[in-house]
Homo-oligomer: A and B are copies of this chain.
């Protein structure tokens, strides 16, 4: 079905954990992330150049200038990708969770800024190093290609939400997406903390803070969700939420 994947799996049969660089052993990015398709040699090579960093909420991740340009893997926390109009109107165009890859391969700077939404940890990779490795490793390019396609699907799903849903449906859709992200299987009660402030949610949904707040209140009043502490949300019935979100 997916030949490149099979090839990679076979390679990995012979891998002993001791071959893998210490910094990578317990790393999120090897489970589902980009580093999962790399050989021990590649990991060893790459790990010479990577830096693990904490990023505080609100700070730029991989700010411009820093090593001229770098990529990163998100290891913990949530990073928001956003775009701005010159008059200050802002739109969040994507959320990256661990172990997502961060950065735009093959340059052509898009005007996107990446900012930590929560307490975040990243593994920063100099641009030149990764670009070279991708050129030499079809498996790695394949993996990044896959992730780009997933992000494209997500972006397009969100376009439907932005363009055609009501405020109520938008907020419900957001909650539903976050809930699924923390518990993909959930059918019964689902509980989670929102990684975004009301302002961020508004920027994600193309609404104002006030409208988001009102819709949350309404969802609470209708019994679709329960809220505690502003950030802590509990969903008694995911199907009900999906229905309100316009996701049959």
Contacts and interface: CB of A to CB of B under 8 A. Distances in A.
Interface of A: 1-4, 81, 83, 85-87, 89-91, 93-94, 104-108, 110, 112, 132, 135, 138, 141-142, 144-146, 148-149, 151-153, 155-160, 162-165, 205-206, 246, 248
A135 B83 contact: no
Contact of A148 (B135, B138, B149): B149
A147 to B, nearest CB: 10
B148 A152 contact: yes
Given A85-B246, A141-B142, A148-B149, A159 B155 contact: yes
A138 to B, nearest CB: 4
B106 A149 contact: yes
A25 to B, nearest CB: 29
B206 A162 contact: yes
A112 B156 contact: yes
Given A83-B157, A141-B141, A135 B206 contact: no
Contacts of A132: 3
Chain multiplicity (copies): 2
Contacts of A205: 163
Contacts of A160: 83, 85, 91, 93
A79 to B, nearest CB: 14
A156 B94 contact: yes
A248 B205 CA distance: 23
A163 B206 contact: yes
A156 B90 CA distance: 12
A153 B110 contact: yes
A93 B159 contact: yes
B91 A163 contact: yes
A130 to B, nearest CB: 12
Contact of A163 (B4, B144, B162): B162
* Residue among A87, A151, A163 with the highest chain B CB neighbour number at 10 A: A163
Contacts of A248: 86
Contact of A105 (B149, B151, B206): B149
